[in-house]
Structure 1
Amino acid sequence: MENLVLAFAIIGALGIGAQWLAWRFNLPAIVLMALAGIIAGPVLNIFAAPDAVPGTPPMEALFGEFYRPIIAVAVAVILFEGGLQLNFSELRGLTRGVRRLVFPGVPIAWFLAAAAGYLIAGLTWQAALLFGGIMVVTGPTVIIPLLRQSKLNPRPATLLKWEGIINDPLGALLAVLVYEFLMLGDHGGTSVDIVSSLILGSALALGFGFAFGRFTATTFRRGWAPEYLKPPILLALVLICFELANLIQEEGGLLSVTAMGVTLANSRIASINDLRLFKENITIVLVSGVFIILTANLTMESVRSLDWSAFWFLVVMLLVVRPLTVFLSTIGAGLPWKERLLVGWIAPRGIVAVAVSSFFGASLTAAGYLDGDKLIALAFAMVFATVVLHGFTISPLAKALGLASRERPGVLIVGASPFSAALAAKLKEMEVPVTVADASWRRLRPVRLANVPTYYGEILSEVTEHHVDLNRFGYLLALGGNEAHNALVATDLAPEMGRSSIYQVNARGKDEEDRKALSYTLQGRTFLHSGVALDELVRRHYSGWIFQRTKLSEEYPPEQYKKDLGAESEIILIIRKGEILFASQEVPLKPDIGDTVLAYIPKPTEQKPDKAKDKAEKAKAEKPKADAQSTETGPAKA
């Protein structure tokens, strides 16, 4: 292929298409992306350049001298995004187990992985040290979707989540340090010179990243940049920081952008969440594209290089290195053996491991180390093995150990009111997991009296994620009396839960011409088909409206149910094959046979006894009986 625009179009279609299929069918995205790249590359060879030098990998031949810069920029942005997640204030409230998995967990994992690479995979000690540092990474881009899928209990989920977030940049930093050590050693320096130069260069790179981070934070905090320019300015500054640090020290840019991300994450910037969302979106695009490029760049020769030594390396990494690391590092951490067993098995590697291995593998090969190409193949094998095995075993293993919720996806109601308290009580009666969150202890009183789980605190607080496990909830109802707060909740939690799973009640009547109304783009789906205001729902509650649950069947079809329901009643939700479907203006519900429907109906009217009417009906009923008796006795008298 010679058309680069067509090549980028195919790469984008394959990457984003794999991401969509993974979301649609609840599969590991990285596996689908890898399969797409392998089919397009080594199998079909659609990226092959006709004038390429024999033996040159297809993507390197296609992009030429731009191949390594493309990978380098992608890795830099990915590491910056990883550093941007590392807020030290959030780490203070973590358990001792998370801290143990970082230290001494990281050094233990590095040493054991390097030993396995040298003794079993047959790598040189230089390549083994570098690859061992990379294998410390357990990618958050892979582990977080697995946690959502498996519905783990809060403590093991916290261990795996924060280990991935913290170790993600640490593994790349270890690889950078080993690479710098090797490059300095090749120039003939003594051990003292190498160590001192490495420490000085790393300090300069870290300081450079810190300075860029502080400059960016000051620029944004003082309003020197408008809101709409902040994301592109940030991206430009990341690239500038990366390249300038590389000029100071070779590959020091990876260290600098990570330090820049950590600095920004711990700076008080009001728009930090918007910046994180933008960087996350950019990272998804880069991850999708780069992963297709990396897998398509594999050749059949590199795949064939994975012999039995590579197989046994994977076995040792999965069954010895990871469990032993977790066991040794969590001694005295107070974790039950079941949690240590689960965490010791689950350690999926992701895009960072592959991208960094590919980047440094090519650099080692260019520097004369023959094992550079083998690192790339081993990294892909490790990613495939861990993602497939851990992705398909985490749920069964967690359930077998009793560490996963067996309940259906729960409902989180934000905003306590008489109506939301009654709805939560009814959901609990229907065995739907529900929690009501509110910052007012007084408003939570009726919810507590109904014996419904509550969270007392601001749902938008940074410390909330340490107390409320959002992975347990599949739906969010913003039912507070403040419409602006409801919209803020919907906007803030949309990236976490998905906007299609968030429903927001109107705090007042819906009026398209109302200049005080919030923009529709800031809100979740409108709760209930009628879009009735919260004040009206509360009024109906006090006037005696009740919740009615009905099971539809062939004997009682939907048509008859709608006729009996009446025009005033509101359908709240439908439970269909275990899935909850809430009513909204955007997606009207259509009940079907087999559904369980929850409706909000007016208070049933009590008919007053009518004595005259009852007496007439009684006389009418007795008259045929008297006539029958006279007919029977007539002939006898005769």
Structure 2
Amino acid sequence: MPTCGGAAARRTGAEPPEPGPADPPEPRPCPRRRDGSAVSEQQVLLGTALTVVLAVGSQILASRLHVPSLIVLLPVGFTAGALTDVVHPDRLAPDFTPLVSLAVAVILYDAGLGLHLHQLEGEPRGVVTRLIVPGVLITWAACLGLAAALFDVPLTVAVMIGVILVVSGPTVVGPLLDHVRPTDRVRQILVWEGSLIDPIGGILGAVAFHVIVRTQAGQGFRFGMFFGSLAVGLAGGAIGVGLLWLALQWLRLGGTLGTLAQLAAVVAVSAGCDMLLDDTGLIAAIVMGMAAANLPGFDMPARHPFFETVVQLVIGLLFISISSTVAPKAVAPVLLPSLLLVAGLVLVVRPLVAFLATARTHLGFGERAFIGWMAPRGIVAASTAATFSATLVDDGLSGADEILPITFLVIVGTVLVYALTARPVAARLGVVRSARTRPLLVGGAPWVVDLALALRTAGLDVLMWAGLAEERRRIGQAGIELAPGELLAAATDPRARLEGVTAVLLCTDDDDFNALASVVVQDSVEGPVYRVGPPHDSGAVVAPYTGGTVLFGPAMVRNVLAEHHARGARFLVRPASEPRPAGCETLFRVRRNGLLEPVTEAGGAEPAEGDTLVLLGPPPAGAAGAIGGGGRR
């Protein structure tokens, strides 16, 4: 029996010594490929290291190129599989399929954590439902027909290809939307569709696979299999929610231990479900994620860096591993038909599904058209194809060896098409979110309201929030958009994110609130959070010591701004090209592209041609005090 041998044998190449009295009776065997041939320990180490390096390196390169990581991961994995014989999952693990299923479950759990029900109400919820329910059936039927017409495969293989290609996925849609930055409503619809359709597609793939296998064996079709799979997944999800509650609420595990407990719960529940019925663990994972994100009592942060790191690594490893299994000789015969299949999916099938799903809604033409231009295939399609095609090939099903290369080419084709065209298409359709800063000013003092008016004069879309009725009335009288009462609750809720707000300026009269909120809100905003500085003689307990970027520098603290405004000083908006009036202090620079850059304790960049300055003018002649003076609370 081939063995890996001891360390000395590996280093010297010598044969392992003959067993002695104290030696074990049987040496440790090497791992084996699917074909039964042995793999040396050196090959396992090299293959594992190379897979990790390629996965991480591809994602770093993609971030530098500002493209979705999939565009780099797939060709890198394919090339590594063609050029080496060590970057192959079946040579590194005895059975790669269960690991793929568990890894996808972790990805879907993370996606579920970002699905907040309050963000999807009214028409968008109906659109998502129609994209998933009739949309999946229409896409399946279209893919089945195209596959049967374009490829020389039997109907059973065409059915399998069709069910594999119905899925989209958050691992692809999310990065593409981050690159495009569409409007909030469009983003929510596409993210929800991608996250919910993956487990449904995985279940459909498992059902189709078992139907094909039972048909090959001369057995009948069980109609209850799909609903049984849903029941197992939902039951597993309920058990998983109980485990999460036990770990996060009863044991009060937080930080690293809380993240590890989540990871263990997801893996254990998904594995248990998959032991009962294939791919039911995907349903359980998405249910667990959505429950943790939406049920009261779970204190789930909006951002969890360790878990996000694990998910990103898993995504990279999966795509490198799966794409490495696609042999170049298997791609060449199906290349042209696969390109025609991609064209049919992108130009006909997806627009038709989006048109039907968004019919009779108040979505604009641009929103409806962009939804019809975003359906890339991702990790669930790849994992389903890799999982089931090998078994079907081993069972001798004609044409089953074409499932994986066809899926691989469709993934590459759809990702490339959407990645290269989504941004210009979104811009042409008018659904790109403005790159201009949209600040939220928290506070309703007179000087804060006038500051908001000045920022609006500088060309920014300003939003305000205040807690006191008098302050809210003052904001409304100034004609400034008043944020809903629950907005600040969402901002301070660690599970939520503020949609559409790209900067927060905390300017209330409570310095400790400003300081604490600057820390809590930071993870809920896609942009910086600033706070006005407390008075130098402030009795605040937290404000002098808490982090958060302080506005305007040490001289322009809150009470100084309020006193100068009360004495008649006003905010001025001037082009940077004009000379600054005497006695004025620069507070903000609004760049030509609409980005807001406040002056802080660290200073600020020099204004450039085309920028706009927001200044605080001096009090009128005869008023007591001077800009930058002190003052008491």
- Report the counterpart of residue 594 of structure 1 in structure 2: 609
| 2:106 is the counterpart of 1:77 | yes
| 2:566 is the counterpart of 1:537 | no
Count of residues in correspondence between the two structures:
580
Q: Which amino acid aligns with 1:430?
A: A
Q: Which amino acid aligns with 2:534?
A: R
Q: How does 1:220-231 map to 2 (within 5 A)?
A: 220-223=248-251, 225=253, 228-231=256-259
| 2:377 is the counterpart of 1:349 | yes
Assess, with a 3 A threshold, how the Cα gap between structure 1 residues 202 and 401 changes in structure 2: closer, same or farther.
closer
TM-score (norm 1): 0.78
- Report the counterpart of residue 629 of structure 1 in structure 2: none
How many Å separate the matches in 2 of 1:168 and 1:600? 52
Query: Which residue of 447, 451, 455 maps to 2:479?
Result: 451
CA deviation after TM superposition for structure 1 residue 505, in Å: 0.6
- Report the counterpart of residue 186 of structure 2 in structure 1: 156
| 2:155 is the counterpart of 1:125 | yes
Q: Deviations over 1:539-583 (max 9, x none)?
A: 333233333445455x97xxxx7xx877x9354235266544333
CA deviation after TM superposition for structure 1 residue 87, in Å: 4.8
- Report the counterpart of residue 612 of structure 1 in structure 2: none
Structure with more helix by fraction: 1
| Bigger mean CA deviation after superposition, 280-289 or 228-237 | 280-289
Contact in 1 for aligned 2:270/2:284 (Cα 8 Å): yes
Structure 2 unmatched runs, 5+: 1-40, 624-633
Q: Which amino acid aligns with 2:106?
A: V
| Bigger mean CA deviation after superposition, 285-294 or 576-585 | 576-585
How many Å separate the matches in 1 of 2:499 and 2:118? 22
Q: How does 1:159-170 map to 2 (within 5 A)?
A: 159-170=189-200
CA deviation after TM superposition for structure 1 residue 315, in Å: 1.2
Q: Deviations over 1:18-45 (max 9, x none)?
A: 4445445532232133344345443xx3
- Report the counterpart of residue 16 of structure 2 in structure 1: none
| 2:303 is the counterpart of 1:287 | no
Q: Deviations over 1:307-359 (max 9, x none)?
A: 32112111111112111222233443454544333322222233333333333
- Report the counterpart of residue 375 of structure 1 in structure 2: 403
Q: Percent identity?
A: 24
TM-score (norm 2): 0.78
Contact in 2 for aligned 1:181/1:198 (Cα 8 Å): no
Which structure would you say has the larger Rg? 1
Give the match's secondary structure for 2:591.
strand
How many Å separate the matches in 2 of 1:451 and 1:350? 46
How many Å separate the matches in 1 of 2:201 and 2:500? 30
Contact in 1 for aligned 2:302/2:524 (Cα 8 Å): no
Assess, with a 3 A threshold, how the Cα gap between structure 1 residues 452 and 462 changes in structure 2: closer, same or farther.
closer
Q: Deviations over 1:509-548 (max 9, x none)?
A: 589998635975xx54333343854344333332333334
| 2:227 is the counterpart of 1:211 | no
Give the match's secondary structure for 2:487.
coil
- Report the counterpart of residue 30 of structure 2 in structure 1: none
Assess, with a 3 A threshold, how the Cα gap between structure 1 residues 401 and 274 changes in structure 2: closer, same or farther.
closer
Assess, with a 3 A threshold, how the Cα gap between structure 1 residues 416 and 100 changes in structure 2: closer, same or farther.
farther
CA deviation after TM superposition for structure 1 residue 10, in Å: 4.6
Q: Which amino acid aligns with 1:422?
A: D
How many Å separate the matches in 2 of 1:301 and 1:321? 29
Assess, with a 3 A threshold, how the Cα gap between structure 1 residues 145 and 455 changes in structure 2: closer, same or farther.
farther
- Report the counterpart of residue 74 of structure 2 in structure 1: 34
Q: How does 1:109-188 map to 2 (within 5 A)?
A: 109-188=139-218
- Report the counterpart of residue 527 of structure 1 in structure 2: 551
Q: Deviations over 1:31-64 (max 9, x none)?
A: 133344345443xx3x533xxxxxxxx4236514
How many Å separate the matches in 1 of 2:555 and 2:56? 35
Cα RMSD after superposing both structures: 3.9
- Report the counterpart of residue 304 of structure 1 in structure 2: 332
| Bigger mean CA deviation after superposition, 231-240 or 359-368 | 359-368
Q: Deviations over 1:473-527 (max 9, x none)?
A: 44333334456655675556645644xx31221463589998635975xx54333
Assess, with a 3 A threshold, how the Cα gap between structure 1 residues 352 and 199 changes in structure 2: closer, same or farther.
closer
Structure 1 unmatched runs, 5+: 50-57, 609-638
- Report the counterpart of residue 626 of structure 2 in structure 1: none
How many Å separate the matches in 2 of 1:430 and 1:197? 61
Contact in 2 for aligned 1:361/1:375 (Cα 8 Å): yes
Query: Which residue of 526, 532, 542 maps to 1:516?
Result: 542
CA deviation after TM superposition for structure 1 residue 603, in Å: 1.0
| Bigger mean CA deviation after superposition, 599-608 or 181-190 | 599-608
CA deviation after TM superposition for structure 1 residue 205, in Å: 4.2
Q: How does 1:455-474 map to 2 (within 5 A)?
A: 455-461=483-489, 472-474=500-502
- Report the counterpart of residue 584 of structure 1 in structure 2: 600
Assess, with a 3 A threshold, how the Cα gap between structure 1 residues 328 and 93 changes in structure 2: closer, same or farther.
closer
How many Å separate the matches in 1 of 2:544 and 2:205? 49
Give the match's secondary structure for 1:505.
strand
Contact in 1 for aligned 2:587/2:599 (Cα 8 Å): yes
How many Å separate the matches in 2 of 1:265 and 1:360? 32
Q: Which amino acid aligns with 2:598?
A: F
Q: Deviations over 1:58-81 (max 9, x none)?
A: 423651425434423311211232
Assess, with a 3 A threshold, how the Cα gap between structure 1 residues 320 and 204 changes in structure 2: closer, same or farther.
same
- Report the counterpart of residue 137 of structure 2 in structure 1: 107
CA deviation after TM superposition for structure 1 residue 7, in Å: 4.8
How many Å separate the matches in 1 of 2:410 and 2:235? 34
Assess, with a 3 A threshold, how the Cα gap between structure 1 residues 464 and 599 changes in structure 2: closer, same or farther.
closer
